Amino acid sequence: MAARKKKAASKKAASKKKGAKKKPARRKAPARRRGWIRPLGRVAAVAAVVVGFWASSWVLEQDRIVRAKFEGRRFSVPSRVLSSPTVLYPGLDWKRIELPETLGRLGYREDSGSGELPSGRYRWGRGRLRVHLRAFDHPSRQEPSRDVGIRLAGNFIDSIVELPGQGEVGMVVLEPELVGAYYGPEEREQRDLVRLDELPRHLSDAVLAVEDQRFESHHGVDFRRILGAFLANVRAGGIRQGASTLTQQLVKNFFLTPEQTLQRKFTEAVMALLVEARYDKEAILESYLNEIYLGQRGSTEVHGVGEASRFYFGKRAQDLSVSESALIAAIVQSPNRLSPHRHPDRALDRRNLVLGLMLEQGRITRAEHDKAHEETIRVASVTPEVGESRYFLDVLRRQLPEVYDRDVLAAEGLEIYSTLDPRLQRAAVRALLRGLERIEAKYPALREEDPQRRLQGCLIAMRPQTGEVLALAGGRSYGDSQFDRCTQARRQAGSTFKPFVYIAGLEPRDGTPAITTASLLDDAPLEVDTNQGVWKPRNYDHEFRGPVTVRHALEGSLNIPVIRLGMEIGVDRVVDVARRLGVTSDLPRVPSLALGTAALAPIEVARAYATIANGGIRPQPHTFEDVVARGETLERRKLRFERVLDAGVAYLATSLLEGVVDRGTGRRVRSMGIEGPVAGKTGTTDDEYDLWFVGFTPELVAVVWVGFDEPRTIGVQSSWGALPIWVDFVKDAYGKRVRGLFSAPPSVRELEINPETGAVAMAGCPVRANEVFLRGTEPTRICDWQNTDGEPDEGSSGRRPQRGGSFWDRIFGR
């Protein structure tokens, strides 16, 4: 073996000598040059390691960001506040409740066809309306989808029948309206989260057809699409076509800024590959459908197909048709330029393009395509942001339990079912603004250019039986001032406090009340010793009338009689009544309290009068009923009621306040056209700093306050300042005729008396009027043909009522 190797080597050497030229010897590199080569190699190796480590660290960091977003809370969803549902029933004034406008705001669309009526559509006919009501879930009840026919008689609903069986129904319920939402400090994005398995297949197909037809096959970056877009842009001489996949769009919206740089595009591509490597296609597509920007409602961005379905079509995404799904997919490219509200022709062309792509890619049949293509674009009317409800939303947030803080409300997507009546809220805002502008027009000196110094006011309306806050306008403009004058301001109550004093006198203590409605009070000069000296109160007109009945004293809002009564029964009893009625503010225990020198919030005054209107049962004012998360009720308002006043005494107070409206300082309610059962009280403080009117009907109590935030004289009486605002509100809300009745409880008896003296009117009494009394407290004086002045019978002074006795046995034969 060794010999063969040696022989081969000798042959090789011989051949070299024979034929090959001798190569010159290689020169050795200089020592200095050889010294640089090895260090440079080491540097390159180290750099490669460093770059590799940095790159891997950067990729790991991107992966961490992706995981944190996808495995944590992907979306911050503002909590929605919904109104109370609208109830339709026979006898309802459908024009007064703005039924056509309400249907439009709820996304119902008019249908001019015949035959079957799709859900969410309505048809007008002569004297009738047909509506196919949508199903909806409410915490208190589930409402099924119902096709109903409503017969109309003029402005009123005559009857409601359910189709096709023609069975008559007592009422139907429309779904609640959106009142507003609680957004975070930086973002105003609204979305309605949906699950992919809940959506119709044609919705996701429409989006994929136009945005990423190879979504199912690529891995986050579509290189074939990139090449196609590059060639298309070269031919066009500019950027005409994008190449981002649906996953890249999602990554850009989730993690990156919209800047167009190579670094951002590279990061986007890497993150898209990471998303596709970690999560399945269904999760990616669901996130995209919930994230994508799809339009603008005022200052609020509409995100996701769920919210877009409600915004454009007034329905859930689950109920979209093929045509509607194609329209939503069409506007993804440019929601504002292609908005069907502003640019219906552009939207129609783009929708038809999407339908063509769906047919071409085999996502819909020819029949489905043709049917959808023939449909005209019908979108719901744009529901503007409900700016007039911002004061109400603030009150509601403060009433929620502490667990629902600002962060939770801005991110958890709760549904809060409120007590707000949208129609009454709009009426309250209109009445308040018109009233304040009317005062400024009549008295130009009150007009201020500075929004912070302008004449202000507030209006709060409540249902007395439940305490539900139905409307709340806390000022002229929430944008100019977020200070809510209905709940946060405390101003002197003025004469609106006087009924509390009379109630304290009418309420029996130890079996006998201090006064009845017919008792005489002395309206004569009065001096009261106080720590600040002698106080000499006066009436508004600086006149004195001598003895006046309780009714006359309250109807005329006289000061002297109510001060005398308060001092006689004691300030403590007055404070006790006010506390029981619902007043919580500080009440100075001084004689002037009877004139309303205490500073109260309008919502306190509303609660106190609601207690009177509710027959002495005190309600708890509240702004929400239920808090719901993902279909589960988290919080249900527990209604609290307490009887704090005898029903008979409450009715006497109501009757006295009816007199204020019929004949007293509130009589402009009648001269301005309001009919039916109304009770109320005016209130004007010293120097006319504060103007009040409180009025209630059997169904509603409303308080109006007018004044400057920095108190100054207005120079107007409440009957010309606050009262007309109240009347405008009631007219707008209910019309001129108020429904219902103030029913007297069995403990109350009605008699005819001489209204000038308070004596019982018998045959021959020259002046007669009906009056109400608690049984057993009727007057013991008579007015007849022999005794027209109503002198006391059997020596009774007539000041304090007597229970039972021979007098009533003789009169009524008991």
Q: How far apart are CA 413 and CA 410, in angstroms?
A: 7
Range of the domain at 219: 184-374
Interacting residues of 278 by C-beta distance below 8 A, sequence separation 6+:
63, 66, 67, 70
Q: How far apart are CA 515 and CA 799, in angstroms?
A: 7
Together in a domain, 175 and 234: no
Together in a domain, 232 and 276: yes
CATH code for the domain of 88 = 3.30.2060.10
Together in a domain, 193 and 175: no
Q: Residues 254-270, buried b or exposed e (16+ Cβ, 10 A)?
A: bbeeeeeeeeebebbbb
Helix, strand, or coil here: 119?
coil
pLDDT at res. 224: 73
In a domain, 337, yes or no: yes
pLDDT confidence of 254, banded at 50, 70, 90? confident
In a domain, 345, yes or no: yes
Together in a domain, 277 and 369: yes
CB-based contact 493:692 (threshold 8 Å): yes
Length of the chain, please? 814
Query: Per mean pLDDT, which range of 240-254, 348-362, 444-458, 782-796 is the poorest?
Result: 782-796
Q: What single letter denotes the amino acid at residue 492?
A: Q
User: 600-617 pLDDT, tens per residue?
Assistant: 999 999 999 999 999 999
Together in a domain, 253 and 344: yes
DSSP single-letter state for residue 139:
T
User: 179-197 pLDDT, tens per residue?
Assistant: 988 887 767 888 888 999 9
Together in a domain, 243 and 370: yes
> Is residue 234 predicted with pLDDT exceeding 80?
no
pLDDT at res. 708: 96
User: 673-697 pLDDT, tens per residue?
Assistant: 999 999 999 999 988 999 999 999 9
Mean pLDDT estimate for the chain: 86
Last residue of one domain, picked from the residues 374, 401, 435? 374
- Going by C-alpha positions, the residue among 169, 89, 80 that lies closest to residue 383 is 80
Other CB atoms closer than 10 Å to residue 510's CB: what's the count? Answer: 5
Together in a domain, 221 and 360: yes
Q: How far apart are CA 480 and CA 473, in angstroms?
A: 13
Q: What single letter denotes the amino acid at residue 132?
A: H
User: 545-558 pLDDT, tens per residue?
Assistant: 999 999 999 999 99
Q: How far apart are CA 89 and CA 159, in angstroms?
A: 7
User: 505-522 pLDDT, tens per residue?
Assistant: 999 988 899 999 999 999
pLDDT confidence of 54, banded at 50, 70, 90? low
pLDDT at res. 18: 45
Together in a domain, 285 and 316: yes
Together in a domain, 210 and 359: yes
CATH code for the domain of 230 = 1.10.3810.10
CB-based contact 530:589 (threshold 8 Å): no
Q: Residues 188-212, buried b or exposed e (16+ Cβ, 10 A)?
A: bbbbbbbebeebbebbbbbbbbbbb
Residues 39-65 have a mean pLDDT of: 65
pLDDT confidence of 789, banded at 50, 70, 90? low
> Is residue 657 predicted with pLDDT exceeding 50?
yes
Q: How far apart are CA 464 and CA 700, in angstroms?
A: 6
> Is residue 811 predicted with pLDDT exceeding 50?
no
Residues 312-336 have a mean pLDDT of: 92
CB-based contact 249:284 (threshold 8 Å): no
In a domain, 800, yes or no: yes
In a domain, 454, yes or no: no
pLDDT at res. 785: 64
Q: How far apart are CA 764 and CA 755, in angstroms?
A: 14
Token readout for 239 is: 């950027």
Together in a domain, 354 and 222: yes
In a domain, 718, yes or no: no
Percent of the chain with pLDDT over 90: 59
> Is residue 628 predicted with pLDDT exceeding 60?
yes
Q: How far apart are CA 455 and CA 114, in angstroms?
A: 54
Last residue of one domain, picked from the residues 140, 156, 181? 181
Q: How far apart are CA 637 and CA 627, in angstroms?
A: 9
In a domain, 334, yes or no: yes
pLDDT at res. 810: 32
Last residue of one domain, picked from the residues 181, 214, 247? 181
Burial class (CB in 10 A: 0-12, 13-18, 19+), 130: middle
> Is residue 300 predicted with pLDDT exceeding 80?
yes
Residues 574-578 have a mean pLDDT of: 98
Residues 755-784 have a mean pLDDT of: 90
pLDDT confidence of 230, banded at 50, 70, 90? low
The number of domains in the chain is 3
Q: What single letter denotes the amino acid at residue 371?
A: K
> Is residue 97 predicted with pLDDT exceeding 60?
yes
CB-based contact 421:470 (threshold 8 Å): yes
**Can you tell me which residue has the tokens 């689950």?**
318
pLDDT at res. 141: 81
> Is residue 768 predicted with pLDDT exceeding 80?
yes
pLDDT at res. 236: 55
In a domain, 300, yes or no: yes
User: 453-502 pLDDT, tens per residue?
Assistant: 999 999 999 999 999 999 999 999 998 999 999 999 999 999 999 999 99
In a domain, 801, yes or no: yes
Interacting residues of 81 by C-beta distance below 8 A, sequence separation 6+:
178, 179, 180, 181, 182, 389, 393, 396, 416, 418, 420, 624
Together in a domain, 161 and 209: no
Together in a domain, 257 and 362: yes
